[in-house]
Amino acid sequence: MEAIGLLMACPMSSYLEEELDKRFNLFRFWNFPQKQEFLKENRNIIRAVVGNAGAGADAELIDSLPKLEIVANYSVGLDKVDLVKCKEKGIKVTNTPDVLTDDVADLAIGLIIATLRRICACDRYVRSGAWKKGDFKLTTKFTGKSVGIIGLGRIGSAIAKRAEAFNCPISYYSRTEKRDTKYKYYPTVVDLASNCQILVVACPLTEETRHIINRQVIDSLGPKGVLINIGRGPHVDEPELVSALVDGRLGGAGLDVFENEPEVPKELFSLDNVVLLPHVGSGTVETRKAMADLVIGNLEAHFMNKPLLTPVV
């Protein structure tokens, strides 16, 4: 397969990059500043694209590569891939589900506890020497608090299972009610936010879910409520979130993703009731290797005319 041209959309895993380099004629897109010229020169060579949560295959890129056969995504989310265009052109699409579920769900629980118990603020309190001047202010517990989850897929269900261990009542919103769950269903996000203390975003990013967290949802969650986002940044109307946190209309937030990564609203930096992470939901050595192996496995399967491991399109 060494002669097969493969375009890596942006830097990802060094392990993945090395393994792809062994198997394919690997092009690192970020090394070519004149991207249009590069695509014209290699349009008939590139048969595969590897993307991730930051860069994938939009309609323009797909149209630039007439020999493209497969887009293998190093992520479970597919918002950076034009799925409609791929279907039109018969291009296969894969992602990396399941292998990252536990890490993302673990991190969601970590964000909840860190936000409610002000763990990051406590750490700064000790490091600054402020503890010598007096005890840290009281925080609020996690155990027993009601948790609402937007999106009860693999990750949402894993979060629910973990939250149950803290004796948290679980409710959810999704496009349709799940018949095989005991959790309470709410038909709108506003209803869900009105009936939980912690609201977790765990759904895919689509046009329908873009800004699913808006001012009405935030106000329904209220000044004692906490928002956790381990989905995608554009799920949240970020200016409205910032305004609510600064004004005290929302109790707190734990955020692993942002609307214009790596840019983060500077107004959040000084807030002790906000925990900020650099999109590390699946960022463990074990999971990133498993994700890379899944990308490689899908590519090898495709070019050996075998069934794909995790087909999406």
By annotation, the residues acting in catalysis are 232, 261, 279
Q: Is the dihedral of CA 37, 39, 40, 42 positive or negative?
A: positive
Q: For residue 85, give the H/E element and its range.
A: helix 83-89
Size (the chain), residues: 313
Query: How far apart are the two ends of the chain, measured CA to CA in Å?
Result: 22
Cα Rg of the chain (Å, integer): 21
Q: Where are the beta strands (DSSP E) in 53-146?
A: 70-73, 92-94
Residue 278 to residue 194: CA distance in whole angstroms: 29
- Cβ-based burial of 312 (10 A; exposed 0-12, middle 13-18, buried ≥19): middle
Cβ–Cβ < 8 Å for 131, 108: no
DSSP string, 188-221: SHHHHHHT-SEEEE-SPP-TTTTT-B-HHHHHHH
DSSP string, 6-17: EEE-S---HHHH
Q: Specify the pairing of strand 46-51 against strand 70-73.
A: parallel
Nearest to 282 by CA among 273, 292, 274: 292
47 CB neighbour count, 10 Å cutoff: 21
Which two three-digit tokens encode residue 268?
């959040």
Cβ–Cβ < 8 Å for 231, 205: yes
